[in-house]
C-alpha cells in the first residue's frame, strides 16, 4: 500500500448538524457531501475538549488536554490561550507534523494555530516546515468598543506580515496558500502533509458578499458554504493532477457549534460549544482516500481526535516515540476494513481541568457539571440527544463507569474533586511574554477596528 499524501481540514466551531451529509437543510455543502460519498462518514467522533486551544493541542499530540497541561491557562485559569500569554504547547511534545516530518514528508500549516503565540510556540517549532495564518481566534483583534486585544496578526512562519487583515478575504487567501503548497509538492515529487485550520465559523463572521447573497442561513450559512467552496478548489487541484486517489483527506471541527439557533446546529445532540454534553464535543468527521477506503460508508464506531496521531503512524509504518505516554489508539483498521471494530471502548469528557463525563461503548455517565455533582446515565445508541436519564435503572453499568472515571482522575486529575493527577506533563512557558502586535494610531490598517457584532 502506497503511503498517502494527507490533508487534515479542521473547522472552527462547526456543529454536528451544519453539513448536508449530517442532516442540514439550511447550508449547501455539495463538496463536503461528495467527500463523504467518496469515503467514510463517522457519526460518533469526538474532539478531546469543547473549546479550541485544548482541542487543538490534544489532536496534534494524541493526548487528553490534562496530560499535556493544556486544560486551563494563566493564573486566571482561562479556557483558552489569549494574546501575549506566557504559555503554549510544550516544545517537547511529539506532534502529527513531527511524525510526517520524520517520514520525509513536506509539511505545512494554514490557518488558526491557537497553541501559543510567542515565537517559541510557533508551528514551525512543532514539525511544520512553514506556516501561514492567525495565531489565535479571529475575535482576538481590536474591535469597536473592545480594545482589550492588540491588532490581529496574520503570520508567515514566526513573522507578523499584516495587522488587522480583512477577514472577508482570509479564507480565499488561505485556500490559495494551500493550493500553492500542494502544487509545489507535486511539481517537486514530494509527499506532503497539510493541516488546514479554517477560521470559519467562529465569530465574528465576515464573509464575501457573493456567499452572503446566496446563503439561505445568513452569515453563518455563508461561512459554511465558503468552507465548502474552499474544499471544492482543493479537490479540483487534486483531480487535475490525477492524485486524488492517493490523497487521504480528513474533514472535522474543533468543537461543536456555539449555538443551536441563530444559524448554527448541533443536530439532534444536546448542548453547545463549551459543554460536555454531546453537542459540545461530538463533531463531524469524514475520511476519504479513494484508492483505499470504500465509497459511501457510514460508521458508528467510537473514535476521537487523539487517535489521529497513532492512526497516521500505523498507516506510515512509523513507530511513535516510546518515552512519553499518549492516549490515542491506532484506528487504521477502521479505514482499511470498515467492518472491523473500534479499538477504543472508553472516552473521557474533560471540560477545562474537570472530568465531567465518561463513555464506555454505548453508555455515557455524567459525574459533574460546572463544579457541581451530576448523576445521569444515557444509552447513546438509543438516545444520542441525552434526553432520558437511566441512571437508576442500570446501577451496575453506572458503577462500572464510575470506576473508569476514578481511574482516569487518579492519572489525569479533576478540579471538582481536587485531585491533581499523577501523570500530567508540563506545558510550555516562557519567562517574558508580550503580544505580537501593539496598536499604532498612525498605522495604515486596512481594517482599523472590526465592527461586526454577534451574527450580523
The pLDDT > 90 percentage for the chain reads 97
As separate numbers, helices (DSSP H) first and strands (DSSP E) second, the chain gives 10, 18
Same domain, 70 and 198: yes
pLDDT confidence of residue 455:
42
User: What confidence tens digit (pLDDT) does each residue in 374-405 have?
Assistant: 999 999 999 999 999 999 999 999 999 999 99
Residue 447 lies in a domain: no
> Does 289 share its domain with 338?
yes
Same domain, 216 and 307: yes
For residue 10, give the nearest of 194, 173, 135 by alpha carbon: 194
Express each pLDDT in 216-275 by its tens digit: 999 999 999 999 999 999 999 999 999 999 999 999 999 999 986 679 999 999 999 999
CATH label of the domain that carries residue 168: 3.40.720.10
Say if residue 456's pLDDT is above 50.
no
Q: Please say which residue of 313, 345, 377 terminates a domain.
A: 345
The one catalytic residue in 11, 52, 63, 427 is 52
In a domain, 177, yes or no: yes
Closest CA to 86 of 120, 39, 126: 120
Q: Is residue 305 part of a domain?
A: yes
Which residues, other chains included, contact 197 with Cβ-Cβ below 8 Å and sequence gap of 6+?
Answer: 9, 10, 12, 56, 109, 110, 111, 112, 113, 133, 254
Summarised one tens digit per residue, pLDDT across range 412-425 is 999 999 999 999 99
92 and 183 housed in the same domain: yes
Q: Which of 312, 345, 378 is the last residue of a domain?
A: 345
Q: Which of 301, 320, 345 is the last residue of a domain?
A: 345
Residues 296 and 286 in one domain: yes
Query: How many domains does the chain contain in total?
Result: 2
Is the Cβ–Cβ distance between 65 and 350 less than 8 Å?
yes
Is the domain of 211 the same as that of 358? Answer: no
Residues 339 and 361 in one domain: no
Rounded to an integer, the average pLDDT of 162-166 is 98
Residue 451 forms part of a structural domain: no
Q: State the pTM of this model.
A: 0.98
CATH number, residue 376: 3.30.1120.10
What per-residue confidence (pLDDT) applies to 124? Answer: 98
Query: Hey, which residues does 288 pair with through a beta bridge?
Result: 249
- Quick one: angle between helices 30-37 and 218-240, nearest 10? 50
The answer to whether 115 is a known catalytic residue is no
Structural domain of 394:
347-425
Cell for 86?
Answer: 506566557
Considering the domain architecture, whether residues 298 and 369 belong to the same structural domain is answered as no
CA distances (Å), 19 to each of 38, 43, 204, 254, in order? 15, 12, 20, 15
Give per-residue pLDDT as tens, 269-326. Answer: 999 999 999 999 999 999 999 999 999 999 999 999 999 999 999 999 999 999 999 9
Q: Is residue 178 part of a domain?
A: yes
Q: Is 201 in the same domain as 282? A: yes
Q: Is 324 in the same domain as 357?
A: no
Does some domain include residue 199? yes
Q: How far apart are CA 332 and CA 215, in angstroms?
A: 37
Looking at the fold, whether 213 and 285 belong to one and the same domain comes out as yes
Whether 427 is a known active-site residue: answer no
Q: Return the C-alpha cell found at 213.
A: 447573497
DSSP element (H, E) containing 99:
helix 96-102
Specify if 382 maps to a domain: yes
Claim to verify: residue 174 and residue 184 sit in the same structural domain:
yes
24: pLDDT confidence band, cut at 50, 70 and 90?
Answer: very high
Residue 420 is assigned to a structural domain of this protein: yes
Which residue out of 114, 198, 202, 366 is catalytically annotated? 114
153-156 β-sheet, strand order: 159-163, 153-156, 130-133, 106-111, 192-197, 5-11, 247-253, 285-288, 40-42, 297-299
Amino acid at each position: 500500500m502506497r503511503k498517502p499524501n494527507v490533508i487534515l481540514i479542521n473547522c472552527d466551531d462547526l456543529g454536528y448538524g451544519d453539513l448536508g451529509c449530517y442532516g442540514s437543510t439550511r447550508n449547501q455543502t455539495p463538496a463536503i457531501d461528495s467527500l463523504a460519498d467518496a469515503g467514510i462518514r463517522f457519526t460518533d467522533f469526538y474532539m478531546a475538549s469543547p473549546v479550541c486551544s485544548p482541542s487543538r493541542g490534544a489532536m496534534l499530540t494524541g493526548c487528553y488536554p490534562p496530560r499535556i497541561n493544556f486544560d486551563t491557562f494563566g493564573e486566571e485559569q482561562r479556557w483558552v490561550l489569549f494574546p501575549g500569554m506566557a504559555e503554549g504547547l510544550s516544545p517537547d511534545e511529539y506532534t502529527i507534523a513531527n511524525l510526517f516530518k520524520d517520514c520525509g514528508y513536506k509539511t505545512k500549516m494554514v490557518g488558526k494555530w491557537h497553541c501559543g503565540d510567542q515565537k517559541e510556540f510557533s508551528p514551525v517549532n512543532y514539525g511544520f516546515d512553514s506556516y501561514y495564518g492567525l495565531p489565535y481566534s479571529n475575535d482576538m483583534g481590536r474591535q469597536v468598543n473592545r480594545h482589550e486585544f492588540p491588532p490581529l496578526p496574520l503570520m508567515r512562519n514566526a513573522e507578523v506580515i499584516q495587522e488587522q487583515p480583512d477577514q472577508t478575504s482570509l479564507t480565499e487567501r488561505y485556500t490559495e496558500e494551500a493550493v500553492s503548497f500542494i502544487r509545489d509538492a507535486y511539481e517537486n515529487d514530494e509527499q506532503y502533509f497539510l493541516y488546514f485550520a479554517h477560521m470559519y465559523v467562529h465569530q465574528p463572521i465576515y464573509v464575501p458578499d457573493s456567499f452572503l447573497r446566496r446563503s439561505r442561513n445568513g452569515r453563518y450559512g455563508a461561512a459554511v458554504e465558503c468552507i465548502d467552496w474552499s474544499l471544492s478548489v482543493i479537490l479540483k487541484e487534486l483531480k487535475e493532477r490525477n492524485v486524488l486517489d492517493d490523497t487521504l483527506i480528513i474533514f472535522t471541527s474543533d468543537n461543536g457549534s456555539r449555538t443551536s439557533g441563530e444559524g448554527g446546529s448541533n443536530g439532534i445532540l444536546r448542548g453547545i460549544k463549551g459543554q460536555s454534553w454531546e453537542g459540545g464535543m461530538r463533531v463531524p468527521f469524514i475520511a476519504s482516500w479513494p484508492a483505499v477506503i470504500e465509497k459511501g460508508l457510514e460508521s458508528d464506531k467510537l473514535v476521537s481526535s487523539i487517535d489521529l496521531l497513532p492512526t497516521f503512524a500505523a498507516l506510515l509504518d512509523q513507530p511513535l516515540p516510546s518515552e512519553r505516554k499518549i492516549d490515542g489508539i491506532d484506528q487504521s483498521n477502521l479505514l482499511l476494513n470498515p467492518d472491523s471494530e473500534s479499538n477504543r471502548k472508553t472516552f473521557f469528557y474533560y471540560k477545562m481541568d474537570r472530568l465531567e463525563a465518561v463513555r464506555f461503548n454505548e453508555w455515557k455517565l455524567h459525574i459533574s457539571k460546572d463544579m457541581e455533582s451530576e448523576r445521569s446515565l444515557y444509552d447513546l445508541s438509543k438516545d444520542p440527544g441525552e434526553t432520558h436519564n437511566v441512571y437508576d435503572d442500570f446501577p451496575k453499568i453506572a458503577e462500572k463507569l464510575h470506576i473508569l472515571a476514578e481511574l482516569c482522575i487518579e492519572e489525569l486529575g479533576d478540579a471538582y474533586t481536587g485531585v491533581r493527577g499523577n501523570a500530567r506533563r508540563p506545558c510550555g512557558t516562557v519567562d517574558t511574554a508580550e503580544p505580537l502586535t501593539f496598536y499604532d494610531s498612525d498605522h495604515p490598517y486596512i481594517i482599523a477596528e472590526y465592527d461586526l457584532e454577534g451574527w450580523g
